Structure 1
Amino acid sequence: MKSVLTMLFAAFLISTSSVWVRLAELAPSVSGFYRMAIGGVLLIAICLFQKRRLWVSGQYLSQLFLVAVFFAADLWLWHRSILYVGPGLATVLGNFQVFFMTLFGVLFLNEKIGWRFLLGLALTFFGLFLLVGMHWSELDADYRMGVFYGIATALAYTGFMLSLRRVQGQKGALTAMANLGLMSVMCALILLLEALLTGQNLMITTVTALGSMLALGVLCQVIGWVMITRTMPLLPVSIVGLLLLLQPALSMVWDVLFFDRPMGSNDYWGLLLVLSGIYLATLKARRQKATHN
């Protein structure tokens, strides 16, 4: 029960990340930079305090850099999607990485898909149609672009997950916390360079923005992810997947409560179908992982 509550609390913390991005009202790459810089420095400090290794080789670091590139792209796209379509829908769209991960497995790893995945895919796309497709012609150009940014976020996150899995699967790999800390710092530098090259203002001028960036870096990037990585091995993977669906669901709730997102019956049904479809589509992968463990 304690592990379930811990995972629920971690999902709750991470679900607020899109809210902090919206509240800060900073340029997208700037908020991403502060999140990764604060989180990365804290994670590395924890590793140093616990005397964990932070070095393997130059080749290993270059592979982690690729992970950072994908995550920087993920934040670049996701933060822009948040600005255009709101925290809720942007987070839901980002969770489409489930389908891109499976597609990669089918195309390159000779994995097979079953009826659960196909049913989940159908439910998800019908739910997405209810959320945005029914009124697509009435949406303005920015909103449409935000939807595309959200789907592209899922693609970038897929690249992040695949490249991180490759790094962590190596013999003699660093701990998950060390990998996350180093990756976060490199990601922060990438986003900082992009922000400087595009002339984005790096100054934090309001208390709200400062508090939002601290919450994003400490609560979401460090506490939330550390709780998840430590708790996942203690629970059945099917339960983990179900509990983590709380994140996109709560992100939509926060969007309605704090940013006055209008929600009709079609939106509620659409959200329910999307979340159900994502869960169904990942059942096979979770069962295989559970058997393997």
Structure 2
Amino acid sequence: MNSKKRENKNRDILLEIIAISFLAMGGIFVKASQLSPLNTGFYRVLFSLPLLFPFAYKQLQALTRKDCLILLLSGVFLAGDIGLWNLSFSYTSVANANLLTNLTPLTVVPVAYVLFKEKIPKYFPIGVLITFLGLFVLLGGKVQANSEGYFGDFLAFLASIFYGGFLLISYKLRDRIGSHAIMFVSGIGSSITLFILANMESFQVPKTTADFLPILGLTICLQVVGHNLLAFCQGKLNVTLSSVICLFQAVIATIYSFFIFGETISTKEIIGMVIVMVGVFTVKAQFASPKTKAEAPI
């Protein structure tokens, strides 16, 4: 079955940038959480389900049993991403975690080429290389040269593989399923998986305001707004373009650290941001496609 063509409109690119702006807040809330990383991830997803249900209700009625099983599986991939990403903050910097967990093109591009027959434009690799160069320039001065730092970097990179799996599954289903239904059903799969993992660690129950606030921040900013809006964009943007735009998350996280934590942004980091933007727009130029009448469901 061929996938519907994505138009890659500037409006939808802007929406995805807004989505990752919310996702970039994740490190702030995870570090502020009083609960363990896996418990924090579990409650983040669990609390999102009643918020998503009113929006997903009508879309859920159109799902087949096979659709539900596939979405539950995608939730397992998302749980792997959330759990590993949360754990990585205990060992490495917010900047490095945001960089490495968004290396999804390494997973998405080759798999999309094989499974979905997505064409790789001639100059697409150049745009990707420019983007990665900018990211490494941006974060080059923040690498922790110790075993814990490298372990955290490794966890964040593993998270990118799991997130790539989630993106590929949701991308395929976005041809005919709305983003609200995708996030709700996959959220059930994620919450079950994270509940099991949290119990293996040490299950905790939030009791105080200090316990709840970071989790609510994660729920609203990441699960309800960020991932939901990103899933919507999966129906509008080419999967390879979408995965590269996600690399902006590391740039945005650096900006947040400047305003929230008072971290100084060096000249080298500013140069890195500019290079990242050049790389992303180079990639965008390779995906200009003719308009199609068919639109993916909202």
Tell me how far 1:287 sits from its aligned partner: 4.0
CA distance, structure 2, for counterparts of residue 292 and residue 237 of structure 1:
17
With 261-270 and 93-102 compared, the bigger mean Cα shift is at 261-270
Are 2:155 and 1:149 equivalent residues in the alignment? yes
Q: Identity over the aligned pairs, expressed in percent?
A: 21
Counterpart Cα distance in 1 of 2:13 and 2:116? 32
Deviation at 1:275, TM superposition (A): 4.8
What is the CA distance between 1:253 and its match in structure 2?
1.5
Moved more, 218-227 or 15-24: 218-227
Q: How does 1:1-293 map to 2 (within 5 A)?
A: 10-48=19-57, 51-54=58-61, 56-108=63-115, 111-131=118-138, 139-169=145-175, 174-199=177-202, 201-227=203-229, 247-259=249-261, 261=263, 263-281=265-283, 283-285=285-287, 287=289
The separation in 2 between residues aligned to 1:108 and 1:235, in whole angstroms, is 17
* 1:277/1:214 CA distance change after superposition, 3 Å: same
Deviates more, 1:104-113 or 1:62-71: 104-113
Counterpart amino acid of residue 196 in structure 2:
L
1:147 maps to a residue whose letter is D
User: More helix by proportion, 1 or 2?
Assistant: 1
CA RMSD of aligned residues (A): 3.9
SS in 2 for 1:56: coil
CA distance in 1: counterparts of 2:220 and 2:51, whole angstroms: 8
> 1:19 Cα deviation (Å)?
1.5
Deviations 1:100-146 (A, max 9, x none): 3112234555555345322223323433443556786x611111122
In the alignment, is the contact (CA less than 8 A) between 1:256 and 1:263 conserved in 2?
yes
What TM-score results when the alignment is normalised by the length of structure 1? Answer: 0.77
Q: 1:114 to 1:223 in 2, by over 3 A?
A: closer
Taking a change above 3 Å as real, the CA distance of residues 82 and 292 of structure 1, as seen in their structure-2 partners, is: farther
Deviates more, 1:147-156 or 1:217-226: 217-226
CA shift in 2, pair 1:144/1:105, >3 Å: same
Determine the C-alpha separation between the residues in 2 that align with 1:109 and 1:8: 24
Contact 2:137 2:271 in 1 (8 A): yes
Aligned partner of residue 120 in structure 2, secondary structure: coil
- Contact 2:95–2:139 (CA<8 Å) still a contact in 1? no
Shift of 1:180: 1.0
- 2:111 and 2:205 mapped to 1: Cα distance? 40
- Maintained 8 Å contact 1:127/1:274: yes
CA distance in 1, matches of 2:290, 2:81: 27
5+ residue gaps, structure 2, are: 1-9
CA distance in 2, matches of 1:102, 1:239: 9
Distance in 2, Cα, partners of 1:259 & 1:152: 27
- TM superposition score normalised by structure 2: 0.76
Q: Is the 8 A contact 2:20 2:248 kept in 1?
A: yes
- For 1:166, give the aligned amino acid: K
